[in-house]
Amino acid sequence: MEKKFIERYGSLKKIEPLKSITDDAVLPNTLAFECPSPFPGYYGSKPTEEIPLYVYFILDGYFHLEDLLLIKEDIKKVVDFDFHATICALEFFDETFNAIRVRHVEDYAKLRKLQQLFVEHGIHFHKKSRKYKYIEDAFIRIKKFFQLEEIEPGLFFDLVEHDHGYIKIDQHLEMNDFLEIARQVDYNLDIIDYDAALASYFEDYKVHDMIRIYTEKISKELLQNIKVEYEKKIKKLLS
Residue numbers of the domain that contains 203: 146-238
Compute the average pLDDT of residues 81-96.
Answer: 97
Report yes or no on whether pTM surpasses 0.85: yes
- Could you report the per-residue pLDDT of 14-58, keeping only the tens digit for each? 999 999 998 889 999 999 999 987 656 545 444 445 666 899 999
The residue from 75, 110, 139 where one domain ends is 139
22 with 74, same domain: the answer is yes
**Cα 112 to the center of its chain, rounded Å:** 21
Contact (CB, 8 A) for 211 and 167: yes
Q: Given this model, what pLDDT does residue 47 score?
A: 42
- Would you say residue 155 lies in a domain? yes
The residue from 139, 170, 197 where one domain ends is 139
CA distance 26 to 118: 12
Q: Given this model, what pLDDT does residue 199 score?
A: 98
Compute the average pLDDT of residues 91-117.
Answer: 94
Compute the average pLDDT of residues 161-172.
Answer: 96
CATH number at residue 189: 3.30.300
- Could you report the per-residue pLDDT of 195-231, keeping only the tens digit for each? 999 999 999 999 999 999 999 999 999 999 999 999 9
- Look at the chain and report how many structural domains it folds into: 2
Mean of per-residue pLDDT scores for the chain? 92
133 with 178, same domain: the answer is no
